[in-house]
Amino acid sequence: MNDIRITLAFLWVALMLIYLLGDVLRIFAGDLTPGEIEGRKLTHRMVFVMAIIMVVPIIMVALTVVLEYSVIRWVNIIVAIFFFGFNLISIRGYANYDKFLLIVSMVFNLLTIFYAWNWVM
C-alpha cells in the first residue's frame, strides 16, 4: 500500500479524534445541555445531519484505502476543503478550547489537501 494512502487515512482518523475530543470536553466543561444546541431543541433532522458530518471522516479512511489513486486523490482534496470551510465558518462563538481544536482540525485539513495535491504515482 502506498505510504500517502496511510498518511491520508491517518489524517482523517486524527480529525475524527479531534471532533470527539471537542464533544467530550464540551460535556465535562458543562457547555452542553442534553437535547439542545445553543438553546434550540434538537430535532431528529439536526441529529441526522450531525451524524452525517461525523461519519464522513470515517468513510474517508475506508475510501482512502480502497479507491483508486485518481479518484481518491480528488475526493480527499474536495472533502478536506469542505471541512476546512465548515470549521472556519463555525469557529465564532465557541469557547477557547473549542477554537483551539477547530484550528488544529483545520491544520489537519490543510495537511490532507497538501498531501493529496502533491501525491504522484
Cell triple for residue 4?
500517502
CA angle, 83 then 89 then 93, to 5°: 125
Pick left, alpha or beta for residue 96 (phi over 0 → left; psi -120 to 50 → alpha; otherwise beta): alpha
116 within 8 A of 80, measured Cβ to Cβ? yes
* pLDDT value of position 52: 94
* Whether the predicted pLDDT of 1 surpasses 80: no
pLDDT in tens, 23-79: 899 889 888 788 888 788 999 999 999 999 999 999 999 999 999 999 999 999 999
Instruction: Report domain extents, the chain.
Output: 3-117
* Whether the predicted pLDDT of 10 surpasses 60: yes
What does the mean pLDDT of the chain come to?
92
* Whether the predicted pLDDT of 9 surpasses 90: yes
